[in-house]
Amino acid sequence: MMRKKISQKKKHQQKEALLKQYITVSNFPKAYRKLLCLRFPMDVAEIIELRDMLNQSLERSELLNVTPGFKNFTSTLTDAIELSGVDRQHHADKMVGILSLFRELHYKHNLMSRNREIQLRQLREQNRESNENSVRFGIAALLTAIMGFITFLAVPESGWLLKGITIVSAIATLDFFQSLRIFDGEYKILTDEFNTVLRERVDNMNWEKLTSNLAAILGYRKDQSAFLIHSTADGFNRTSGTESRYH
């Protein structure tokens, strides 16, 4: 009974993990680069995982014709799909749907990335200004503390007001200069994120390469056997075992 419960729990976890394997705006750069840099021939098991990801992404996608120039974009896909060796209309239609999804995700990814870049630039500028102010105020507080201390030594009978100003200035000096370490740490974090945003951004899409790789992954190419290798663990041969799942 315990083994059965563990097995059911494991299957549920595997199913939940599979449901999370679809392309979103946040993981778009990683998914796009992975698909673009595929090396063929590939193991059938890996092909199946990629097909599942693409199918689930398409099923979960919303209306795709919301981005500017959608109709013009879809009309330009025909030649690229034909050049990829896709000769069946329903295959071509599905390719258009997936490529349109990629276009929409790319559009939203760029919008989100550039907005974050602007935000990080502003935060870094605010950090630098705060850092400079801390240095300026720290120096002013230090000079005040020094002058108060010198005055206290020169005039021992000086009142508690001068002593209080000297002590407060000394404490403020420590506080201002200690805050510099905090600002430096925050600036490093902001800079790292800023560089990550720029590094992960996909400025331009290689539609020809992406179309060719998607056609191979989905099994729509005429020369499909050149893109798959035998997987003994799953019992697939070079060209069969996966075609019927994705028509």
pLDDT in tens, 120-164: 999 999 999 999 999 999 999 999 999 888 887 777 777 778 888
pLDDT band at 205 (very low <50, low <70, confident <90, very high): very high
Q: Is the pLDDT of residue 19 over 50?
A: no
Domain ranges of the chain: 27-237
Residue recorded with tokens 């740490």 = 185
Cα(159)–Cα(166) distance, rounded to whole angstroms? 11
Residue recorded with tokens 């070079």 = 238
Dihedral through CA 112, CA 118, CA 121, CA 123, nearest 10?
-80
What's the chain's average pLDDT?
A: 80
Predicted confidence at residue 69, as pLDDT, reads 64
- Say which residue, 208 or 80, is predicted with more confidence: 208
pLDDT band at 70 (very low <50, low <70, confident <90, very high): low
pTM to 2 decimal places: 0.71
Give the mean pLDDT of 92-98: 86
- Say which residue, 192 or 85, is predicted with more confidence: 192
Predicted confidence at residue 179, as pLDDT, reads 94
**Highest mean pLDDT (candidates 117-121, 157-161, 204-208):** 117-121
